[in-house]
Amino acid sequence: MKRQAKTHAWHHQHVNDFYVRQSVEQGWRSRAAFKLMEIDDKDRLFKPGQTVVDLGCAPGGWCQVAVQRLKGQGRIVGVDLLEMVGIGGVTFIQGDFTEDAVLAELEAAGIDAGVDLVLSDMAPNISGVDSADQARSYYLAELALDFAGRHLKPDGAFLIKVFQGSGFEDYVRQLRAVFGSVAVRKPKASRDRSREVYLLAKGLIVRD
């Protein structure tokens, strides 16, 4: 009964959430679109002509923002294990971005010349066990960092959602070993009670 009550309370809050209502009214596929737009308004991530890769892109809210902000000038590739309804201007690849076959598809889609912006709003399937969910979350984050380190241009940027708590400081240290600049962003569209924050890394450290 307690879990059922908690689920009911979450559903009630979700459907009455300002950003959920706005996303429906404005045609965004997720409230997460507002988070990315707010970060971009501050940090100017998108520039026409860029190559952008969105890891864990379904249902497509961030891809929609990328399409809008690139204004038809650039290349956007989204990757997810889940299906995603197509978006004009976005190449969608369904699969695991760490697998060779999917990486080959990504390269065929035009990332072989380097990526300007890697986005990751990935989250694991939630088990309800906080320690296990946090560990899975940072496992995905480490995979995303490895991808960014391998494919970003030296002046590219990496934006990723993580959760504060166990593993956070270690992950920030990993980022700082790869990038010259790491900043924390907590957009207004993130719920106050949520431990999620976004890490924005720039200045890829190129080693021989």
Residue 42 CA to residue 137 CA, distance in Å, equals: 26
Residue 112 among known ligand-binding residues: no
Residue 65 CA to residue 15 CA, distance in Å, equals: 22
- Judge whether 161 counts as a catalytic residue: yes
Residue 80 among known ligand-binding residues: yes
Catalytic site residue from 153, 161, 188, 202: 161
On whether the CB atoms of residues 147 and 55 are closer than 8 A, the answer is yes
Residue 60 among known ligand-binding residues: yes
Contacts of 208 (CB under 8 A, 6+ apart): none
Question: Which tokens go with 58?
Answer: 């379904």
Q: What sign for the dihedral angle of Cα 150, 122, 53, 78?
A: positive
Residue 178 CA to residue 74 CA, distance in Å, equals: 26
> What residues act catalytically?
161
Mark the binding-site residues for S-adenosyl-L-methionine, compressed into ranges.
Answer: 60, 62, 80, 96, 121
Mark the binding-site residues, compressed into ranges.
Answer: 60, 62, 80, 96, 121
